Amino acid sequence: MLNVRNPPLEGVRVIELAGLAPAPFAGLLLADYGASVLRIDRPLPHPQNSRPVQPTADLLTRRKSSVAVDLKSPDGRALLEAILLQVDVLLDPFRPGVLESLSLSPQQLLEKNPRLIVARLTGFRRDGPYAAMVGHDINYLALSGILSQLGRADGPPNPPANILADFAGGGLMCALGILLALFERTASGKGQVVENSMVDGVGYLGSLMRYARKTSLWDRPRGHNLLDGGCPWYDVYQCKDGGYMAVGALEPRFFHCLVQGLELPELDDIALREDRASWPAIREQFRLRFLGKSRHEWEKTFDGTDACCTPVLDQQELENTHSEQRLPISLQSTPGLSINEEQSWTSGGLVPDSGGTILLYQWFGWKIGKDLQIQGGGVVKTNLAKL
């Protein structure tokens, strides 16, 4: 019988300085695998403002708590410093120099808590010409070289929303860096600074794309290669009802299943496939054939076959059919925390100062009125001399 133990990151305490997209995603990953994550938010509005406090724009808040702290005030910074003396990870989403301007440089923090892991997530490289500039996913993707390879031949480069730099090259890579630092700490007993540039993160993700430019796999202009929409049997086709089917029949045996299902057996010819001059005609035949039936009809044709032909499902379809959302990694003995149906499809966000003081009590035994008090819309620490 399998002995299931606690989640792998249970007991790990994480401070997430409030931000959007990549850093919250890193915090979400850690929380889903058992870490206790506390988000540090800006101080609350003046109490004379009668409007209720609303959740922030951050939707990646599952399993997190929040405490409002004024980091511009000495008392607010003192509270954060007191917290950082006793936690494992600090997630820093700010531009270079912000922590230093608050007298919270990683060097200062590590001197006071040598076991602390300071994860610093930036868009551009800290040592490059863009270091002091602001940017977003599309800018980091552009500088990585990867954006130049994405898109159709007859149009400009086309970014896939902000999935690649913000989430894959940023938040996911940052979480990996934190896990590496936690693992190393088991041997050395010491924390360290984890640096994550989204330009470097997404560039690393594109390692194959970069190397493949010097092979027949990707040696042609954008939109003319095997995996970028140039190949007819690695593309998306519209159906009669407006739905879409995704085709990825790269290998000959899979291509054979595809053309059999499309009732185009005359295309099952290796020489024809290898002749790129024939690709436009093959694409047109595929296009017309897919337009002849609804997506549901094509699903019935290809389900259970090796044609590598699947429906393009939209998020609303998945929600309507109660599709289960699962964690990306399943650990048999120390699984992460399951995602229920409501959590799969809805995020209510997190209202600043929600559950944070409760979590501080659970962590350190600090109580409002005794160890903590509200000052200027934020929480501050009393009796700091006892720390």
Instruction: Give the separation between CA 290 and CA 284, rounded to whole angstroms.
Output: 10
Catalytic residue list contains 166: yes
| Cα 206 from Cα 19, distance rounded (Å) | 26
Ordered DSSP codes for 172-183: IHHHHHHHHHHH
Specify whether the backbone of 68 is left (phi greater than 0), alpha (psi in -120 to 50) or beta: beta
Element (H, E) at 89: strand 89-92
* Integer CA distances (angstroms), 364 to 30, 275, 359, 372, in order: 20, 69, 8, 11
Amino acid symbol at 27: G
Give 242-260 as a DSSP string: S-EEEEE--SHHHHHHHHH
> 3-state class of 63 per DSSP?
coil
- 41, 166, 228, 353: the active-site residue: 166
Strand partners, 39: 16, 66
- Over its C-alpha atoms, the chain yields an Rg (Å, rounded) of 26
Within 8 A by CB and 6+ apart from 299, the residues are: 245, 311
Provide the 10 A C-beta neighbour count for residue 100.
13
The closest of 158, 127, 124 to 143, measured between CA atoms, is 124
Quote the CA–CA distance of 248 and 246 in Å, as a whole number.
Answer: 7
The structure tokens listed for 271 are: 């020489």
| Catalytic center residues | 166
